[in-house]
Structure 1
Amino acid sequence: MNTIKHFLKWVETAKVSERAAAAAALARAYSQKQLAFEDRMAAEAALTLLLDDPSAKVRLALSETLSLSRCAPAQVVAALAADQPDVAAPVLVRSPLICDGDLVDRVAAGNPAVQAVVAGRPKVSMAVAAAIAEVGTAAACLALAANDGAEIAALSFRRMIERHGEGAALRRALAARRDLPPDCRHMLVVRVGEALSAAPLVLALMGPERAEKLAREACVTASITLIDAIDRREHGALVEHLRLRGDLTSRFLVRTVAHGKIDFFGAALVALARQSEARVQALLKGGRQAALTALLSRAGLEPVTHAPLLAALAMWREIAVGKRVAGPQEVSWHMLQTLEKAPAGRQADREALAGLLKRIHLESLRENAREQALALAAA
């Protein structure tokens, strides 16, 4: 007790560096339970009084020393957590006495530095992540997305993209996460397209209309690639996202089939035709043309697409069982030939679909040539 009295008198005139060292020593003694009960009560009072020290270095010494203690005075830890960001950081990041409610309050207070500190904690709960996603700055959201110890809900991913998706660094960090839902991956693709179409250089070279068309085509191509990046079990979620956005069009589904994304195409038919997955899969694997045509019609696919789609499905079946060796280049060409022979559809629709199939074929030709050139260069 007498020691604490002398300490309190001494700090009134001691230098900042001395006060900081003494504060850390007192906090260690308290945390390690080296004091008798009465001395412990006096030490707690002294630690509480040190919160009013005008020097941030003294309060930082307290914060760093008490940040890992489970028996630190609750009122001291709470006050340190509400201090200026550099003082609060150690307890906000490490203290076991800081609960999710405290962290949410600190995030809601709106200090950007504090939000970033909370987002970088070794473990971030779903509730705290939701608060950061909802009110956090772009820097805080980036820290959260880059934190492997953060548990982030699908809704929080969407909110971060909606609020700060224009940031390239955040898009990269989100895309690198394995737990990012497929609909959010597609939202990132759309944001990239928007950034591309709004880029000053692109606008200057192409003009607004051509830039928008280029971005739209790039988004479609990236969406096809995205299908390979997600698990088959997530196809349904991506289908629903595209359907709600109005992107699950006949033209898009033609692309998926031309590129061999038959499992995804099946998931789309399940949603659009309102048929069971088992029935759709059975028809895709071995259904007759009449039954498949009825399924395509029920799904709302344009009649002009039916014959090319049926031809492609038949070709992919042969490829799957080893009767034929081919890829999107050959399949798209076969679809185009089938379209030219089929009578269904208005002339304008036929020409639009033919143009799409030609583009797919040329894209596949170029991709195959690029891969061949790279293989030759590596040999």
Structure 2
Amino acid sequence: MQVVQHFLKWAETARVSERAGAAAALARVYLDRELPFEDRYAAEAALTSLLDDPSPKVRVALSEALSMSRHAPVQVVAALAADQPDVAGPILARSPVLSETDLIDRIADGRHKTQCLIAQRPQLTMGVSAAIAELGDPDACIALVENKSAEIAAISFRRMIERHSDEPRLREALICDARLPSDCRHLILTQLGETLRDAPLVKALVGAVRAEKLTHEACLRASLTLIATMEPAEHQALVEHLRIRGELTTGFIVRLVAHGKIDFFGNVLIALTGQARERVGGLLANGREVAIAALLHKAGLSKPVQKTIIRALAVWREVAQGERVAGAQEVSWLMLEAIGATPAQAGPEPDAAELAALLRSIHIEALRENARLQAQALVAA
């Protein structure tokens, strides 16, 4: 007790460097937890009094000394966390004394450095991550995404995209994050396409209508690539995301089937028809044409589309069983053939003309892609 009294009197006239060193030493003594109760009580009072020291160097020394301990005085830690950024930094970055509520309150203060420090804390809870996603500036959100130990809910990923969609560094960090849900990944791809479409240079070069078409096609191809890299467990969430956005179009469905994304197509049918997963899966794997046609009709697909899908499914079944080798190039051609739209045929019915044009474009894209891959193989050889 007397030592603490002497310290407080001495601190009134000591130099800043001396007070900072003494503050750190006093904090270490307090955390040692071997002081008698009265001495410990007095030490805590002295530590609290140091919060009023006019020099931030003293408070920084106190903050660093207390930042790692679970036994630091709560009132001192709380005050240091609300101090200026240089003082608050060590506490915000690592103090185990701060509760989830404390951290959220500090995030709500809106200080850039404070938000970034909290976003970098190890083992961030989902609640704190949600606060950063909702209130944090772009740099804080980037720090959160780069914090691989943070728990981040799907809705928090979405909020970061919605709030900072124009920040390329955040988009890049999100795309590289394996935790990013598939629907959020698709949303970023769509936003990138829209940014490209609206770019003045693109409009000047190809025109607004052409830019819209090119962007739409690019987004469709990106969606197919995304589906190919996804875990099957994520299919349902992405289907629901596409359904809400109105993107489960006939054209998208035809592309899915032409490219052999049959598992994902099954989830689309479940969403559109309300049929049980087991029934849809069974029909796609082994169902007869009549039963499949009835399912496709329930999904709102026209008869010409039904014909092409049924033809494609038959081919993909043979591929799955090892009876045939085929890809999008061969399947899209056979889908064209199913509606009489190949050069050797009479041509499609009027109600299938638009479908035929879509299938031709898919076929040409597949031809180009196969040619590109072949050229790369020749160069590599």
Distance 2:346 2:41 in 1: 93
Indicate the residue corresponding to 2:238 in structure 1: 238
Distance 2:349 2:131 in 1: 52
Q: 1:328 to 1:298 in 2, by over 3 A?
A: same
Q: Is the counterpart of residue 337 in structure 1 residue 337 in structure 2?
A: yes
Distance 2:97 2:66 in 1: 10
- Per-residue CA deviations over 1:61-102 (Å, capped at 9, x if unaligned) read 111110111211111001001111221121112111101010
Indicate the residue corresponding to 1:117 in structure 2: 117
Distance 2:51 2:9 in 1: 16
Q: Is the counterpart of residue 354 in structure 1 residue 353 in structure 2?
A: no
Q: 1:131 to 1:350 in 2, by over 3 A?
A: same
Q: Is the counterpart of residue 189 in structure 1 residue 224 in structure 2?
A: no
Pairwise CA distance, 1:248: 0.2
- Secondary structure, counterpart of 2:220 in structure 1: helix
Q: Is the counterpart of residue 377 in structure 1 residue 367 in structure 2?
A: no
Task: Provide TM-score, normalisation by structure 1.
Answer: 0.94
- Secondary structure, counterpart of 1:323 in structure 2: coil
Q: Conserved in 1, the CA contact under 8 Å of 2:340 and 2:347?
A: no
Distance 2:49 2:348 in 1: 84
Q: Is the counterpart of residue 275 in structure 1 residue 301 in structure 2?
A: no
- Secondary structure, counterpart of 2:310 in structure 1: helix
- Per-residue CA deviations over 1:127-157 (Å, capped at 9, x if unaligned) read 1111111111111111111111111111111
- Per-residue CA deviations over 1:248-303 (Å, capped at 9, x if unaligned) read 01110000000000011111111112211111111111222111111111100133
Superposed counterparts of 1:290-329, under 5 Å: 290-329=290-329
Q: Conserved in 2, the CA contact under 8 Å of 1:304 and 1:345?
A: no
- Per-residue CA deviations over 1:291-341 (Å, capped at 9, x if unaligned) read 111111110013321111111111111111122111111111211222225
Distance 2:54 2:346 in 1: 86
Counterpart code for 1:64: E
Superposed counterparts of 1:29-178, under 5 Å: 29-178=29-178
Deviates more, 1:246-255 or 1:48-57: 48-57
Q: Conserved in 2, the CA contact under 8 Å of 1:110 and 1:136?
A: yes
Counterpart code for 2:233: R
Indicate the residue corresponding to 1:285 in structure 2: 285
Superposed counterparts of 1:183-262, under 5 Å: 183-262=183-262
Indicate the residue corresponding to 1:368 in structure 2: 370
Distance 1:242 1:25 in 2: 60
Q: Conserved in 1, the CA contact under 8 Å of 2:80 and 2:88?
A: yes
How many positions carry a matched residue from both structures? 378
- Per-residue CA deviations over 1:49-72 (Å, capped at 9, x if unaligned) read 111112221111111110111211
Distance 1:229 1:87 in 2: 45
- Secondary structure, counterpart of 2:39 in structure 1: helix
Q: 1:48 to 1:344 in 2, by over 3 A?
A: farther
Pairwise CA distance, 1:372: 2.1
- Secondary structure, counterpart of 1:353 in structure 2: helix
Distance 1:233 1:194 in 2: 28
Q: 1:44 to 1:261 in 2, by over 3 A?
A: same
Distance 2:62 2:200 in 1: 51
Distance 1:166 1:96 in 2: 35
Q: 1:343 to 1:252 in 2, by over 3 A?
A: farther
Distance 2:346 2:88 in 1: 73
- Secondary structure, counterpart of 2:326 in structure 1: coil
- Secondary structure, counterpart of 1:51 in structure 2: helix
Distance 1:206 1:13 in 2: 75
Q: Conserved in 2, the CA contact under 8 Å of 1:304 and 1:344?
A: no
Counterpart code for 2:82: A
Distance 2:116 2:357 in 1: 49
Q: Conserved in 1, the CA contact under 8 Å of 2:340 and 2:348?
A: no
Pairwise CA distance, 1:119: 1.0
Distance 2:167 2:30 in 1: 46
Q: 1:339 to 1:346 in 2, by over 3 A?
A: closer
- Per-residue CA deviations over 1:145-188 (Å, capped at 9, x if unaligned) read 11111111111111111111222221222222223222112111
Distance 2:346 2:183 in 1: 37
**Aligned-pair identity (%):** 59
Counterpart code for 2:369: E
Q: 1:260 to 1:34 in 2, by over 3 A?
A: same
Pairwise CA distance, 1:34: 4.5
- Secondary structure, counterpart of 1:185 in structure 2: helix
Distance 2:13 2:339 in 1: 92
